[in-house]
């Protein structure tokens, strides 16, 4: 059974398991110790390069001249590194040192998820050598497939530039959260295929915020009609509406089954909303509205959006704040207070600060 659980393991909590993992590889003849540095022998891995579709020979000829005389092959990589003066270290059978970068992931994955992971994700820049090396270590030790599926996402650019501190365009999810509802950020990430590069800009975020609001409006429209609609037999024409909704759903499923094409799957949600906005009214039978609503919610849930319940939307909050600010300027304090109370009723608390009005949901 699927259980939802999130863990953020720390590599330093797994040092002993890493040592045991490396010992296992040495016992199998797939790793060797040279004066406190332990290397993985890529010639001992079955199909090294299968993930990134590189062959050892190609890699060797492409590799820079390796000055490390300790390695048997230039492509061999460190499992354990001998500590240099002043570096943090742990004790090991090979002396004081620290684990190599790749081994950390293999060991934490094996300990927490088992010998075979279903889906391993990561940025496309990690495919080689990092993920390739994870496979080599893990499959050599366990003799089982390391991951059934690999998802490598494209890179994020900011205003068509790479994100970097020196360009001054570096920011975190938390920073974005100050400006945009994070549901908009999720919607943004879903708006491109995960393998494609994606470009962040305020313009795009604003467009997506509007798109998301359109979906929310469609959802509350259906909720409103559900309240009014009558339970009655469907006519033949009304039965066809259900088929129409099914078609949108099939499109969604088809897109998602096509390597999780969320970019195109999203359009089904807009189609459902567009269709119901222009075809449903107070006379539409309850069953049709409920059916449409349930499908819209089911599909949105798969994407993790439209989860807010009857909440006042950000756009509306900002509009009301603007109205209140104007009222205060015009010394219409009664109206200003009314707006404050109206927002409070909807769970929005305003705070007047020197930089202007701030709001939060409570």
Residue ranges that bind Zn ion, judged by CB under 5 A: 105
CB 36 within 8 A of CB 82: yes
Ramachandran region of residue 4, left (φ > 0), alpha (ψ -120 to 50) or beta? Answer: beta
Query: Least distance from C-beta 136 to Zn ion, angstroms?
Result: 13
Q: Give whichever of 122 and 211 is closer to Zn ion, judged by the CB atom.
A: 122
Does 129 sit behind a cis peptide bond, omega within 30 degrees of 0 on the bond before it?
yes
Tell the residue number behind the tokens 């943090």, with chain if given.
Answer: 88
What secondary structure letter does DSSP report for 42? G
Q: Give whichever of 105 and 184 is closer to Zn ion, judged by the CB atom.
A: 105
What is the three-class DSSP state of 336? helix
Q: Give whichever of 155 and 349 is closer to Zn ion, judged by the CB atom.
A: 155
What residue is closest to Zn ion based on CB?
Answer: 105
Query: Least distance from C-beta 138 to Zn ion, angstroms?
Result: 11
CB 77 within 8 A of CB 40: yes
* Residues in CB range of 88: below 8 A, 6 or more apart: 98
Query: Least distance from C-beta 125 to Zn ion, angstroms?
Result: 12
Q: Give whichever of 121 and 189 is closer to Zn ion, judged by the CB atom.
A: 121
Q: Give whichever of 19 and 105 is closer to Zn ion, judged by the CB atom.
A: 105
Query: Least distance from C-beta 112 to Zn ion, angstroms?
Result: 13
CB 358 within 8 A of CB 349: no
Query: Least distance from C-beta 92 to Zn ion, angstroms?
Result: 21
The CA distances from residue 355 to 77, 134, 352, in Å, are 54, 50, 8
């Amino acid at each position: 059974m699927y259980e939802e659980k999130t863990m953020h393991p720390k590599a330093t909590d797994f040092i002993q398991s890493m040592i045991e993992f490396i010992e296992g590889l040495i016992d199998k003849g797939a790793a060797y110790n040279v004066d406190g540095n332990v290397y993985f022998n890529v010639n001992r891995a079955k199909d090294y390069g299968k993930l990134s579709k590189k062959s050892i020979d190609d890699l060797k000829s492409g590799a820079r001249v390796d000055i490390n005389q300790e390695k048997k092959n230039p492509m061999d990589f460190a499992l354990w590194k001998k500590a240099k003066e002043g570096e943090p270290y742990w004790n090991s059978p090979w002396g004081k040192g620290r684990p190599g970068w790749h081994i950390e992931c293999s060991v934490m994955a094996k300990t927490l998820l088992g010998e075979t992971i279903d889906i391993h994700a990561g940025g496309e820049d990690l495919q080689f050598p990092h993920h390739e090396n994870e496979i080599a270590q893990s499959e050599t030790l366990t003799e089982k497939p390391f991951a059934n599926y690999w998802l490598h996402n494209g890179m994020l650019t900011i205003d068509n530039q790479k994100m970097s501190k020196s360009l001054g365009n570096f920011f975190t999810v938390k920073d974005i959260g100050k400006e945009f509802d994070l549901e908009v950020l999720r919607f943004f990430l879903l708006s491109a295929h995960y393998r494609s590069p994606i470009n962040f800009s305020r313009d795009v975020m604003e467009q997506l915020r509007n798109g998301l609001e359109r979906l929310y409006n469609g959802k509350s429209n259906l909720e409103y009609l559900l309240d009014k609609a009558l339970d009655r037999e469907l006519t033949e024409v009304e039965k066809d509406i259900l088929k129409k909704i099914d078609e949108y759903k099939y499109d969604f499923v088809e897109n998602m089954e096509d390597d999780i094409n969320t970019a195109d799957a999203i359009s089904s949600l807009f189609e459902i909303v567009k269709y119901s906005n222009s075809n449903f009214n107070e006379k539409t039978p309850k069953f049709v509205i409920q059916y449409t609503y349930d499908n819209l919610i089911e599909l949105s849930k798969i994407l993790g959006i439209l989860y807010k319940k009857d909440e006042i939307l950000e756009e509306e909050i900002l509009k009301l704040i603007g109205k209140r600010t104007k009222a205060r300027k015009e010394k219409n304090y009664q109206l200003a207070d009314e707006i404050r109370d109206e927002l409070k009723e909807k769970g929005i608390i305003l705070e007047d600060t020197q930089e202007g009005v701030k709001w939060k949901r409570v």
